[in-house]
Amino acid sequence: MTSNAPMDPDFDGTTRVLFVCTGNICRSPLAEGVLRHRADERGLDVVADSAGTGAWHIGERPDPRSIEVAARNGVTLTGRARRVVDEDLHEFHLVIAMDRSHLRHLERMRDRSGGEAILALMRDFDPEPGDGQVPDPYYGGPDGFDHIYEMIDRAVEALLNQLVAGDVP
């Protein structure tokens, strides 16, 4: 995790989390949906959103394979793709990248914008972090979406546990 300052949850008592991937149609909307679902199950006040580093899919719904794996697990994906902007690094407490290229992109944005968001990799929270990245399932088959769902779900559960315990910097 890279951070300039400790997490400051006193904005309004609501923790705001943004997930970032490449096009905002596969990994990040799935993470957004899982976080919303798991936080609701626990009665936690968490705002989740997602964005992409690229603009290819702005306005589109998530990939049908993300929607399908989410639905099979009781999660609804409702968002539309958007691109991450400098203001996000001021408005969100925690901005979570799906892989190292996204994290580098966000670090450059934060340096330029002066944003105070804490930046992390999704798998920084995963108790089984593997290589530390959530692989892009876009060009693979449906089993790739099942695989990333499992990674994201584990990492979200651990993230929520850390938020409840006050262990997120």
- pLDDT for 169 equals 60
Catalytic residues: 21, 27, 136
CATH topology of domain 15-160: Rossmann fold (3.40.50)
Give the span between the Cα atoms of 145 and 27, in whole angstroms. 9
Domain boundaries, the chain: 15-160
Question: Tens of pLDDT along the chain (169 residues)?
Answer: 443 333 444 434 689 999 999 999 999 999 999 999 999 999 999 999 999 999 999 999 999 999 999 999 999 999 999 999 999 999 999 999 999 999 999 999 999 999 999 999 999 999 999 999 999 999 988 799 999 999 999 999 999 999 999 887 6
